[in-house]
Amino acid sequence: MPTDIEIARQATLIPITEVAKNAGVPDDALIPYGKYKAKVDTAALPTTANGKLILVTAINPTPAGEGKTTTSVGLSDALHRIGKKALLCLREPSLGPCFGVKGGGAGGGKSQVMPMDEINLHFTGDFHAITSAHNLLSAMIDNHIYWGNSLDLDLRRVTWRRVIDMNDRALRQIVGPLGGVSNGFPRETGFDITVASEIMAILCLAADLEDLEKRLGDIIIGYRRDKTPVFCRDVKAERAMAVLLKDAILPNLVQTLENRPAFLHGGPFANIAHGCNSVIATKTALRMADYVVTEAGFGADLGAEKFMDIKCRLAGLKPDAVVLVATVRALKMNGGVSKADLTKGENVEAVRKGAVNLKRHIENLKKFGITPTIAINHFYLDTDAELAVIKEMAESFGAEAVICKHWAEGGAGAEELARIVAAKADAGAPDFNQLYPSEMKLADKIETICTEIYRAGSVTIPAGVRSQLKQWEDMGYGHLPICMAKTQYSFSTDPTALGAPENHDVAIREVRLSAGAGFVVAIAGEIMTMPGLPKVPSAEAIYLDENGQIEGLF
Amino acid sequence: MPTDIEIARQATLIPITEVAKNAGVPDDALIPYGKYKAKVDTAALPTTANGKLILVTAINPTPAGEGKTTTSVGLSDALHRIGKKALLCLREPSLGPCFGVKGGGAGGGKSQVMPMDEINLHFTGDFHAITSAHNLLSAMIDNHIYWGNSLDLDLRRVTWRRVIDMNDRALRQIVGPLGGVSNGFPRETGFDITVASEIMAILCLAADLEDLEKRLGDIIIGYRRDKTPVFCRDVKAERAMAVLLKDAILPNLVQTLENRPAFLHGGPFANIAHGCNSVIATKTALRMADYVVTEAGFGADLGAEKFMDIKCRLAGLKPDAVVLVATVRALKMNGGVSKADLTKGENVEAVRKGAVNLKRHIENLKKFGITPTIAINHFYLDTDAELAVIKEMAESFGAEAVICKHWAEGGAGAEELARIVAAKADAGAPDFNQLYPSEMKLADKIETICTEIYRAGSVTIPAGVRSQLKQWEDMGYGHLPICMAKTQYSFSTDPTALGAPENHDVAIREVRLSAGAGFVVAIAGEIMTMPGLPKVPSAEAIYLDENGQIEGLF
């Protein structure tokens, strides 16, 4: 069986100018970055959006892999194959983690997005621009303090840190500036990885450059001794930051292995942020294509919920159809099988047992007024009996299920899925609704998500957190949606509780206000915003071979 | 009188594909970055270099401005006008400083390189790539220590810091990692600005990707307790770093206001590094054009000396002609006139007095076996008598001088200069020699530069510095050239001593080994490798207007 990278290397890419032409991008709207990447000037495109929006989400992720991105690629390619005009919208990957563990890539098998190596390295520089904009604000804050601190920022309460697109645990917590008068006033601070920057979330939620600049200005950089907030616009940084982001805000066009167009744009963390590609890419795609396939990070409990309650709410979007990806292997693990035991032959009972996870996600999605189509992402070891039991159970939960072979066959393996999903998208989702109204109190929103989606029996919100939420409501932030940061492996906050746990307690440890992005982060558990490198980082094995081809990146 | 930015905005750019075609770059060697920038795949170009190399240098810089880049642009445009096939090679500017003081741009008046705003912002991402490669190594060093420090690095002697392309004084000196076991071992460290990275110097001196990777591996990252060095290759970082730099190593093609080709590639500091554009750009240009115009940072005492003794020595290059730029205003300041008094009418005596600076540079350049042509960069307030005295004095020093009006007239204003310089370049510089042989002892090299070029009466090299130099000689670094870091405003180490000071003392405070780049830095005076922002940073006034045009950047 060929590896992803072997398949990718056998692919024949067409020039990005051709991809663009096929996607209806006029010549003067294309800004090429090399031969196979481009940015698209959205101003030059049709203004009317007629496309149907299809969200691809998944059951809870397991080490077995569920193939959400792969399915998104396969579905988009399949829509083209059955004669539909489709456009794929995905997140762009982060550079830093590529040097930690072998990884990267977008999709897998015959359903990948190209060119993998460039996408995983500097791509079109979006993340570098976000890093620059973030750190310009950081520099201007310390510079403001240095020159007299007329805004009266409390040095202990500067919440804006710095970012770097590198797994560098040594920067998590530092003290600086040291070295005396000419360097500034020492304080505790640190670095997060770039994808955790609020600017990443802002870029992905902004309607346009003007809205981006407004949101940048809305960022809270810290507080005074009296706990009143100090904003980015108070240090006059937001306009220069927008200048740094003027190209980054434009969607990036690449192609699938079948030479179909794909936007890869933005990549916010799926825990402390909402984990979806940019609103601008999605809305631009809806102006260009009849069907737009997009995905949301993690499983449906986190990803789809945030897609509906944050992205759709803030951007005025709604999904016309939802695809829920499941695999035999992931359901087996949800049914109690260890990763090592996955290769030990047929186990219909485990699949049946693990399908409670699938059932729960179907029920949850129905709460948003949408019944998902189940895409069973086929793996070569799956048996007919195992596949049949998923189909049967999905149907018993009221959802249609389709076996898809896009990993092995590309778009040809997902044509049935494409036909079903296109029909559902055409019918639309007239009953779509968000889980909670914007007017609901912040604490109530948190409780609603925990009880309705996670099926918690109780939600512990400490008094300090409640008073913080109350304070933000008093400041005018009560209408914001909640961005839950918890483990993606379980409905509960215990990553080992697979299947469909219920009546557990969700303890909210901390809340953070992303005033620029426009959501309140509620943290249940430990959240890491700066990864480290492993003992043997994959960087040690990444190199250019004698032909200038990158080895070891995937 | 229109400003640089007004002139730039009236320019009509041609597509970079056309610029490339005119420069003889085959289609498949062009890697476009938007419509007006591209990288050039050097492998696809002719392998024989027949071009003549013309160095543009200058008298000591003053706040009046001498116009070295402007003259380089004007000369290149003028060469085209007189029917010569020319190619301009300049450094690319750094992003961070644009947010400190109003600045940026490349050239001025009708002799500028375009598109200014993109060149000054992210350009083609080279500096971001260098930042990433540098910080990957930093992360791998702390990661190595975290996982057991089997190389036995002395935490007090880790010399490799981190970089960021931002003026951020708060990062000059920090302590980290803090936060306990999971973050690592606390130590003192800090950040420099990206242009000060040894990787910038390496990229600009590397012959090709293979040589780049070797040089990266040669970087000394720190020392053990026994003072033996630990190298980049010991933490196995150099190959992944080369992967991050695989596009950055390719020259960037842009155009002048007259739509003539220009390479902008690399931008090392001119104090702790050699301050020249990349060897790859220069050598590629010599394969493409008959005349290659390039410049070196600061005045001829630093810039030209480093160009000859570092860049030419390490790359096997030699200049065929040298242009030395002087202005009436700069000579007046060297003659004792304050900046405020420059507008107070004709002052022939001051010009005559300040011409000792010009004389000294001419004498110095003759020591390299080359008599420079003096380009008098005309300013509209200059009087005929003032201009005449420069011409007269230059000639008395044995050098031909030409009045050039390229600021006001573009290439048309530098045609006489072009004709003279082309003829000199055709004749070549058979007597070219470096100032000192590679075999000379390191301390003797330092003394040679100080006495021969700076005309120091004495050179103070403390015993500790001498023993450090001796140690490096024992380690096999004795053949390296010296990179002097001192003030650019004077031949001496006193920035206020204009004109032609002599018999002063040059005190060497510190030496640093850039083993990857391949030179020994000798520091005389305070050298700042991380600038700060002023009280009112220019960032506060940089914004996008309603048409998406950047205001306030220049």
Give a three-class secondary structure readout of A24-54: CCCHHHEEEECCCCEEECHHHCCCCCCCEEE
> Binding site annotation covers B66?
yes
Interface test with B, best of A16, A171, A188 (most B CBs within 10 A): A171
Question: Smallest Cβ distance to A242: which of B32, B169, B544?
Answer: B544
Ramachandran assignment for A255, one of left (phi > 0), alpha (psi -120 to 50 degrees), beta (any other):
beta
CB B112 within 8 A of CB B8: yes
Q: Give A432-443 pLDDT, tens digit per residue.
A: 999 999 999 999
CA A442/CA A435 separation, integer angstroms: 13
SS3 content of chain B, % helix, strand, coil (to 5): 40, 20, 40
| Run of H or E residues at B75 | helix B68-81
CA B31/CA B247 separation, integer angstroms: 10
Please check whether residue A44 touches B, CB under 8 A.
no
Choice among B135-144, B198-207, B542-551 with the minimum mean pLDDT = B542-551
Please check whether residue A170 touches B, CB under 8 A.
yes
Choice among A114-118, A306-310, A501-505 with the minimum mean pLDDT = A114-118
Look at residue A547 in the predicted model and tell me its pLDDT: 87
Label each residue of A172-199 as H, E or C: CCEEECCCCCCCCCCEEECEEEHHHCHH
Label each residue of A419-451 as H, E or C: HHHHHHHHHCCCCCCCCCCCCCCHHHHHHHHHH
Question: Is B178 close to A188, i.e. CB distance below 8 A?
Answer: yes
Measured between beta carbons, the chain B residues lying within 8 angstroms of A178 are: 173-175, 188
CB B539 within 8 A of CB A237: yes
CA B384/CA B234 separation, integer angstroms: 63
Look at residue A3 in the predicted model and tell me its pLDDT: 84
CB A268 within 8 A of CB A262: no
Give the model's confidence band at A2: pLDDT under 50 very low, under 70 low, under 90 confident, else very high.
confident
Q: Which are the contacts of A477, defined by CB distance < 8 A and separation ≥ 6? A: A442, A513, A515, A520
Residue ranges in B266-327 assigned as alpha helix (H): 279-288, 303-306, 313-315
Q: Report the share of chain B in percent with pLDDT over 90.
A: 91
Question: Rounded mean pLDDT of B407-433?
Answer: 97
Ramachandran assignment for B98, one of left (phi > 0), alpha (psi -120 to 50 degrees), beta (any other):
alpha
> Binding site annotation covers B213?
no
Strand pairing partners for B57? B324
Question: Is A143 close to B169, i.e. CB distance below 8 A?
Answer: yes
Give me the total of CB pairs closer than 8 Å, taking one residue from chain A and one from chain B.
214
Look at residue B420 in the predicted model and tell me its pLDDT: 98
Query: Residue A211: pLDDT above 80?
Result: yes
Residue type, A165: D
Measured between beta carbons, the chain B residues lying within 8 angstroms of A33 are: 32-34
Look at residue B105 in the predicted model and tell me its pLDDT: 65
Between vectors from CA B437 to CA B433 and to CA B441, what angle results, nearest 5°?
155
Other C-beta atoms lying within 10 Å of the C-beta of residue A82: 14
Question: Rounded mean pLDDT of B289-314?
Answer: 97
Measured between beta carbons, the chain A residues lying within 8 angstroms of B188 are: 178
Look at residue A111 in the predicted model and tell me its pLDDT: 97
Instruction: Give the torsion through C-alpha atoms of A408, A411, A416, A421, to 10 deg.
Output: 130
CB B365 within 8 A of CB B435: no
Q: Give A472-490 pLDDT, tens digit per residue.
A: 999 999 999 999 999 999 9
Question: Smallest Cβ distance to A143: which of B34, B129, B533?
Answer: B533
Please check whether residue A149 touches B, CB under 8 A.
no
Q: Give A384-427 pLDDT, tens digit per residue.
A: 999 999 999 999 999 999 999 999 999 999 999 999 999 999 99
Give the model's confidence band at B242: pLDDT under 50 very low, under 70 low, under 90 confident, else very high.
very high
Query: Residue A105: pLDDT above 70?
Result: no
Residue type, B162: R
**Which residues 219-238 in chain A show a CB within 8 A of chain B?**
236-237
Q: Is B184 helix (H, G, I), strand (E, B) or coil?
A: coil
Give the model's confidence band at B103: pLDDT under 50 very low, under 70 low, under 90 confident, else very high.
low
CA A262/CA A280 separation, integer angstroms: 14
Token code pair at residue B146: 């975290």
CA B275/CA B309 separation, integer angstroms: 12
Q: Which class for A486: exposed (0-12), middle (13-18), buried (19 or more C-beta within 10 A)? A: buried
CB A194 within 8 A of CB A164: yes
Sheet containing A220-224, strands listed edge to edge, beginning at the edge strand earlier in sequence: A153-158, A220-224, A229-231
Assembly ipTM = 0.96
| Run of H or E residues at A391 | helix A384-396
Query: Residue A309: pLDDT above 70?
Result: yes
Min Cα distance B270 → chain A (Å) is 23
Other C-beta atoms lying within 10 Å of the C-beta of residue A50: 10
**Which residues 335-394 in chain B show a CB within 8 A of chain A?**
none
Interface test with A, best of B35, B37, B132, B163 (most A CBs within 10 A): B132
Q: Give A27-78 pLDDT, tens digit per residue.
A: 999 999 999 999 999 998 989 999 999 999 999 998 877 899 999 999 999 9
Question: Rounded mean pLDDT of B474-487?
Answer: 97
Question: Rounded mean pLDDT of B70-83?
Answer: 98
φ, ψ of residue A268 to 5 degrees: the values are: -70, 145
Instruction: Give the torsion through C-alpha atoms of A15, A17, A22, A24, to 10 deg.
Output: 160
Question: Rounded mean pLDDT of B333-339?
Answer: 93
Look at residue A449 in the predicted model and tell me its pLDDT: 98
Question: Is B236 close to A182, i.e. CB distance below 8 A?
Answer: no
**Which residues 446-485 in chain B show a CB within 8 A of chain A?**
none
Strand pairing partners for A261? A255
Measured between beta carbons, the chain A residues lying within 8 angstroms of B172 are: 177, 179, 183
Look at residue A106 in the predicted model and tell me its pLDDT: 85
Query: Residue A102: pLDDT above 90?
Result: no
CB A203 within 8 A of CB A130: yes
Look at residue B526 in the predicted model and tell me its pLDDT: 85
Question: Which residues of A are catalytically annotated?
Answer: 68, 70, 91, 102, 270, 298, 379, 407
Q: Which residues of B438-454 are buried (b: 16+ CB within 10 A; e: fewer)?
A: eebebbebbbbbbeebb
Look at residue A31 in the predicted model and tell me its pLDDT: 96
Min Cα distance B116 → chain A (Å) is 14
CB B198 within 8 A of CB B517: yes
- Taking only Cα atoms into account, the Rg of chain A, rounded to an integer number of angstroms, comes to 23
Give the model's confidence band at B5: pLDDT under 50 very low, under 70 low, under 90 confident, else very high.
confident
Label each residue of B159-175 as H, E or C: CCCEEECCCCHHHCCEE
CA B257/CA B13 separation, integer angstroms: 7
Other C-beta atoms lying within 10 Å of the C-beta of residue B407: 25
Min Cα distance A143 → chain B (Å) is 6
What number of H helices and E strands is found in chain B? 18, 26
Answer whether the bond into residue A26 is a cis peptide, omega within 30°.
no
CA A187/CA A190 separation, integer angstroms: 10
Residue type, B23: A
Q: Is B369 helix (H, G, I), strand (E, B) or coil?
A: coil
Could you tell me how many residues make up chain A?
Answer: 554
CA B294/CA B262 separation, integer angstroms: 10
CB A241 within 8 A of CB A199: yes
Comparing CA positions, the residue from B93, B74, B494, B484 lying closest to residue B265 is B93
Look at residue A486 in the predicted model and tell me its pLDDT: 95
Give the model's confidence band at B392: pLDDT under 50 very low, under 70 low, under 90 confident, else very high.
very high
Look at residue B419 in the predicted model and tell me its pLDDT: 98
Look at residue B104 in the predicted model and tell me its pLDDT: 65
Look at residue A104 in the predicted model and tell me its pLDDT: 65
Query: Residue B65: pLDDT above 90?
Result: no
Please check whether residue A121 touches B, CB under 8 A.
yes
CA distances from B197 to B12, B268, B507, B526 (A): 36, 8, 25, 18
CA A168/CA B137 separation, integer angstroms: 10
Question: Is A169 close to B146, i.e. CB distance below 8 A?
Answer: yes
CB B390 within 8 A of CB B327: no
Look at residue A63 in the predicted model and tell me its pLDDT: 84
CA A99/CA B143 separation, integer angstroms: 12
Residue type, B349: E
Question: Is B33 close to A32, i.e. CB distance below 8 A?
Answer: yes
Comparing CA positions, the residue from A215, A208, A216, A207 lying closest to residue A238 is A216
CA A140/CA A244 separation, integer angstroms: 14
Comparing CA positions, the residue from B551, B460, B544 lying closest to residue B505 is B460
> Binding site annotation covers B63?
yes
Look at residue A103 in the predicted model and tell me its pLDDT: 64
Measured between beta carbons, the chain A residues lying within 8 angstroms of B122 are: 125, 128-129, 132, 244, 247
Please check whether residue A179 touches B, CB under 8 A.
yes
Question: Is A121 close to B168, i.e. CB distance below 8 A?
Answer: no
Please check whether residue B166 touches A, CB under 8 A.
yes
Strand pairing partners for B323? B56, B373
Other C-beta atoms lying within 10 Å of the C-beta of residue A496: 9
CA A142/CA A120 separation, integer angstroms: 32
Query: Residue A282: pLDDT above 90?
Result: yes
CB A304 within 8 A of CB A32: no
Look at residue A553 in the predicted model and tell me its pLDDT: 83
Query: Residue B305: pLDDT above 90?
Result: yes
Average pLDDT for chain A: 95
